[in-house]
C-alpha cells in the first residue's frame, strides 16, 4: 500500500485517480480548495479530504503529511489561476519536501514547451519547477482529453454548425486512462541516482489518431446531431501547434478507451 496525496483530487482526472487508487488498496488524502459534500460525485468514501490553496500555501502541510507520493492534478486554465499555476506547483513541492515526501508526480500536456499559448506556457513553467525539485519527480504529459474536442463540437452544434480545424489531428485520451498513468507513475519504480535520472517525462496518448473531421462525424452520429460539419482555419499559437502535429506522439498508445466509446458513456452530459 502506498500513501498518496492527490492535489486537485476533485477535478475530472483527480477524482478518477482517487477512485482508482482506493480500489487498488492505497491510502489517499485529497487536497482541494473546498471539501466536497459527502455523497457528491466529487467525494469518495475512504479518502481523507483537506481544504487548501497552493496559491497561498494554506492547508498544504496538513494534506501532504505522511504521504509517500504527492500527485499534482491541479488546473489553472484562466486568469489569476493560470498566472499563479507554476508558482502554486512550486509551493506544493516545497511543502512536500519539508514534510519528507520523497516523490512527486504532475499532470501536464504533450509538448507544452513547444507552444507560446498561455495555458500551455504555464504548464511548461510548472514542468521546469519539477525538473529543479530535490524530490524524485515524474511529469506525465497527456494528449488532449476526449471531452475537450466533444465540447467544441457541442458548442457549435447549438447553431447547427459543427466546427473542425484545418489539418488538425488528435490522439485524444480518456481522463480515466490518464488517471491510470498517474497512478502507475506514482507507485512504479522510477528510482535513479543522478539528477537527470531523478526527473522523468512520460507522454501518454489515446488509442487512435483521427482527423478532427473524423471525430466530428463520430460525434454527430452518436449524438444524433443535424449540424453541418464545417472546416475553419485556427490562427495563433494553438493553430501553429496543431498544424505542426505537436499534439501527437509516435510512442505506443497508452489509453484504451476510444473517442466513440467515451462518447457513448457520456452522451447524456454533453
pLDDT, tens only, 4-51: 999 999 999 999 999 999 999 999 999 999 999 998 989 999 999 999
Give the domain ranges of the chain: 3-269
- For residue range 92-140, list pLDDT tens digits in order: 999 999 999 999 999 999 999 999 998 999 999 999 999 999 999 999 9
Residue 194 has pLDDT above 60, yes or no: no
Instruction: With beta carbons less than 8 A apart as the criterion, state whether 233 and 239 touch.
Output: yes
Q: Could you give the angle at which helices 85-98 and 118-131 cross, rounded to 10 degrees?
A: 20
Q: Residue range 67-89: average pLDDT? A: 80
Name the pTM for this structure. 0.93
CA 64/CA 221 separation, integer angstroms: 45
CA 149/CA 166 separation, integer angstroms: 14
The phi and psi torsions of 71 (rounded to 5 degrees) equal -115, 120
CATH number of 3-269: 1.25.40.340, 3.40.50.300, 3.40.50.970, 3.40.50.720? Answer: 3.40.50.720
**Which residues is 72 bridged to in the sheet?**
7, 106
Q: Residue range 242-269: average pLDDT? A: 91
Residue 144 has pLDDT above 70, yes or no: yes
Q: Residue range 190-209: average pLDDT? A: 78
Amino acid at each position: 500500500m502506498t500513501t498518496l496525496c492527490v492535489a486537485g483530487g476533485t477535478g475530472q482526472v483527480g477524482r478518477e485517480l482517487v477512485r482508482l487508487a482506493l480500489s487498488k488498496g492505497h491510502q489517499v488524502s485529497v487536497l482541494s480548495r473546498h471539501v466536497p459534500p459527502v455523497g457528491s460525485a466529487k467525494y469518495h468514501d475512504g479518502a481523507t479530504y483537506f481544504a487548501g490553496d497552493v496559491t497561498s500555501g494554506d492547508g498544504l502541510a496538513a494534506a501532504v503529511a505522511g504521504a509517500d507520493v504527492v500527485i499534482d492534478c491541479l488546473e489553472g486554465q484562466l486568469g489569476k489561476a493560470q498566472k499563479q499555476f507554476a508558482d502554486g506547483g512550486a509551493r506544493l513541492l516545497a511543502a512536500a519536501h519539508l514534510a519528507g515526501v520523497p516523490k512527486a508526480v504532475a499532470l501536464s500536456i504533450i509538448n507544452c514547451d513547444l507552444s507560446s499559448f498561455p495555458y500551455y506556457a504555464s504548464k511548461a513553467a510548472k514542468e521546469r519547477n519539477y525538473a529543479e525539485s530535490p524530490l524524485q519527480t515524474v511529469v506525465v504529459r497527456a494528449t488532449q482529453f476526449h471531452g475537450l474536442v466533444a465540447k467544441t463540437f457541442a458548442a457549435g452544434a447549438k447553431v447547427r454548425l459543427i466546427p473542425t480545424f484545418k489539418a488538425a489531428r488528435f490522439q485524444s485520451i480518456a481522463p480515466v486512462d490518464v488517471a491510470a498513468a498517474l497512478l502507475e507513475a506514482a507507485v512504479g519504480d522510477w528510482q535513479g541516482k543522478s539528477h537527470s535520472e531523478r526527473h522523468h517525462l512520460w507522454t501518454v496518448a489515446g488509442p487512435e489518431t483521427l482527423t478532427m473531421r473524423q471525430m466530428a462525424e463520430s460525434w454527430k452520429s452518436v449524438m444524433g446531431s443535424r449540424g453541418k460539419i464545417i472546416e475553419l482555419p485556427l490562427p495563433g499559437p494553438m493553430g501553429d501547434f496543431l498544424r505542426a502535429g505537436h499534439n501527437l506522439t509516435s510512442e505506443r498508445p497508452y489509453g484504451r478507451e476510444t473517442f466513440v466509446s467515451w462518447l457513448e458513456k457520456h452522451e447524456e452530459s454533453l
